[in-house]
């Protein structure tokens, strides 16, 4: 037994809870839009989509590890924004084909079924680049475990919405920020694959995923119809560790709704 009380840690924890409340408030309109979100692409849990689409009030807040993880992501994104803004609207000499650009952060885009927010849109005289920004752990860099499928799906969906709205297919890029380095990929969805090609901490890295963006969009749009018109309630996940928890703590806003009274995973 000791008498040490965490001070900095406690303040940090309270700060994150406060941020969660403010974020929830700021995103209320999006949360009650009744639409699909680009983050639903290649999701593990269709039931989560159902809950946010029908506007179910989340029954619990995220736990501290998840909030800390989110906060790290926001800080990393702010750092990248600072760098992008620093050179915006200036003459550049160090990137071929991008002499001058403007940049916008958190650009809203939607259609009848989808509603989302693009992290960065970079525009130059003849290029439009949509950037999905993620912070990630060092192990993902070491194991070349990037880019993640759900992030690719999210970015490709933004590309589709952009094309629908402006009639121009933008370049798609995903940027991962990590300790002491970054990874950046150009992303190309085809009919049966998604190709990502770029650099991870300076080393060339190319990956082909045998997944169809179109198939996933069609699947989710059918789910949208089934939820809206046929009152479908998708099954919950069988195992908590598949997407309900992060480091042993709830990471899904609907955790208590699904798992209340169930102390063990359903299959065990
Ligand atoms: S708690 Fe798990 S099963 Fe329930 S909606 Fe969230 S991710 Fe799906």
Tell me the per-residue pLDDT of 131-181, one tens digit each, with 9 for 90 and over. Answer: 999 998 888 888 888 999 999 999 999 999 999 999 999 999 999 998 878
Residue 121: band (very low, low, confident or very high) from pLDDT cuts 50, 70, 90: very high
**Mean pLDDT computed over 91-101:** 89
User: What is residue 61's three-state secondary structure?
Assistant: coil
Ligand 1 centroid – CA 165 distance (Å) = 32
Q: Residue 35 belongs to a domain with what CATH number?
A: 3.40.1350.10
Say how far apart CA 27 and CA 62 lie, in whole Å. 15
Helix spans in 88-201 (H): 138-142, 149-166
* CB-defined site of ligand 1, < 6 Å: 45, 47-48, 51, 236-237, 243-244, 252, 254-255, 258
Ligand 1 centroid – CA 202 distance (Å) = 37
**pLDDT tens digits along 21-31:** 887 777 666 66
Residue 268: inside a domain, yes or no? no
Say how far apart CA 249 and CA 251 lie, in whole Å. 6
Amino acid 30: pLDDT: 64
Residue 265: inside a domain, yes or no? no
**pLDDT tens digits along 39-74:** 999 999 999 999 999 988 776 566 777 788 888 888
Residue 3: inside a domain, yes or no? no
Q: How many domains does the chain have?
A: 1
| Residue of minimum CA distance from atom 7 in ligand 1 | 244
Mean residue pLDDT of the chain comes to: 89
| Residue of minimum CA distance from atom 2 in ligand 1 | 244
Question: Quick check: 190 pLDDT over 60?
Answer: yes
Whether 146 and 154 have beta carbons less than 8 Å apart is answered as: no
Residue 1: inside a domain, yes or no? no
Amino acid 267: pLDDT: 46
Helix spans in the chain (H): 8-26, 28-31, 46-53, 64-87, 138-142, 149-166, 213-230, 255-259
Tell me the residue range of the domain where 93 lies: 8-258
Residue 237: inside a domain, yes or no? yes
């Amino acid at each position: 037994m000791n008498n040490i009380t965490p001070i900095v840690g406690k303040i940090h924890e309270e700060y994150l809870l406060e941020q969660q409340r403010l974020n929830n408030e700021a995103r209320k309109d999006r949360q009650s839009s009744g639409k699909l979100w680009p983050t639903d692409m290649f999701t593990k849990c269709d039931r989560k989509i159902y809950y946010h689409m029908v506007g179910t009030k989340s029954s619990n807040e995220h736990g501290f590890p998840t909030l800390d993880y989110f906060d790290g992501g926001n800080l990393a994104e702010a750092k990248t924004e600072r760098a992008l803004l620093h050179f915006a609207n200036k003459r550049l000499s160090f990137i071929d084909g991008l002499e001058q650009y403007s940049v916008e952060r958190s650009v809203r885009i939607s259609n009848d079924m989808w509603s989302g927010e693009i992290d960065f849109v970079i525009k130059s005289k003849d290029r439009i680049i949509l950037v999905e920004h993620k912070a990630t752990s060092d192990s993902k860099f070491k194991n070349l475990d990037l880019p993640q499928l759900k992030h690719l799906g999210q970015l490709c969906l933004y590309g589709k919405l952009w094309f629908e709205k402006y009639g121009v297919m933008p370049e798609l890029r995903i940027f991962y920020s990590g300790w002491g380095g970054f990874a950046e990929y150009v992303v190309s969805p085809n009919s049966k694959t998604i190709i990502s090609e770029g650099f991870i901490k300076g080393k060339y890295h190319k990956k082909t995923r045998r997944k169809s963006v179109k198939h996933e969009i069609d699947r989710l749009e059918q789910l949208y119809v089934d939820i809206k018109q046929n009152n479908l309630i998708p099954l919950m996940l069988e195992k908590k560790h598949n997407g309900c928890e992060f480091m042993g703590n709830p990471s899904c806003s609907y955790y208590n709704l699904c798992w209340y009274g169930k102390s063990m995973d359903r299959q065990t």
